[in-house]
Amino acid sequence: MKQKNKNPLKGTEKLFGAEGFEQYYGELYGERWPQLKDAFTKENQAVEYHVTGAEKSYFLDSASVLAALCLPLKDAENILDLCAAPGGKTLVLASRMPEDAKLSSNERSSERKHRLSVVVETCLPPEINERITVSCSDGATWCTRQTECFDRILLDAPCSSERHVMLDPKYLNTWSLSRIKTVSMEQWALLSSAYRMLTVDGILLYSTCALCPLENDEMIERLFKKFNKDGKAFELMSPEPDVNEINDYVDITLPEWEKTKYGYQIMPDKQSGAGPIYFSVIHKLKS
């Protein structure tokens, strides 16, 4: 996917509200922006995810299912969903994890952690539920207590979520670039913490539902500059989702992705409303 402006924040500091939002993303996506806006106004058809033996089903975006499916779990032992609420991706991970693996599902907000706990309890059978620990912790500081302790990590980071902003007048009318900058600082704290908690030979999947490159590819670029200056600390992996892993739980046609510089993006204007979702898969090679 190509953006018109490689430095979308440069020279746009005074943009604000609905007009600023329109100008900023119009510059970023050019001729594609009207199609994206139109896709945002249409209902996203969620898929039903029902794990055998669970009390309830869970409904989520097919792009979210795909992202969670792209974190390889073969031979995984200790898995972490760092920003897990409301719980959809946790369910996908839990239903796929090896029988002897354990999953830590974390959320920093106590209110959202409660919602996450309910989803885990009602949407997973007891034999899987008993291998999941739901916690309430700030993922950005977790690395100060533990390092290299999880061999698989999913970080679905808080983001600008432009789809929701555009559809809510309250958020649209108060939109500003300072919000993007604040969110990106939070994302970097979470991503660098997650990387430190990843074991050697472990795999980290970073994802957002943002459109802004600052929150997506540029976040992975920062990871390269901080931890991979010699090019030997980690490598990026190509996603290899296997829908057969989840065929028993969901009737789904996986959406297709578009390649970006460091990752992959699923865009609603091309995928019948699915997304947007960005993700990048990182394989740690050494400490």
Instruction: Tell me the pTM.
Output: 0.95
8 Å CB contact between 229 and 222: no
Split the chain (287 residues) into runs of 10 and give each run's mean pLDDT: 51 83 97 97 91 98 98 98 98 98 98 98 98 98 97 98 95 95 98 98 98 98 96 97 98 97 98 96 95
Q: What is the DSSP string of 11-74?
A: T-TT-BHHHHHHHHHHHHHGGGHHHHHHHHHSPP-PEEE--TT-SS-EEE-HHHHHHHHTS--T
How would you class 250 by CB atoms within 10 Å of its CB: exposed for 0-12, middle for 13-18, buried for 19 or more?
A: buried
Q: Of these residues, 83, 123, 143, 209, which one is catalytic? A: 209
**pLDDT score for 5:** 46
Q: Is 209 a catalytic residue?
A: yes
**pLDDT score for 165:** 96
**pLDDT score for 13:** 63
Q: What whole-number distance in Å separates Cα of residue 280 and Cα of residue 287?
A: 20
> Helices 88-96 and 62-69 sit at what angle, rounded to 10 degrees?
40
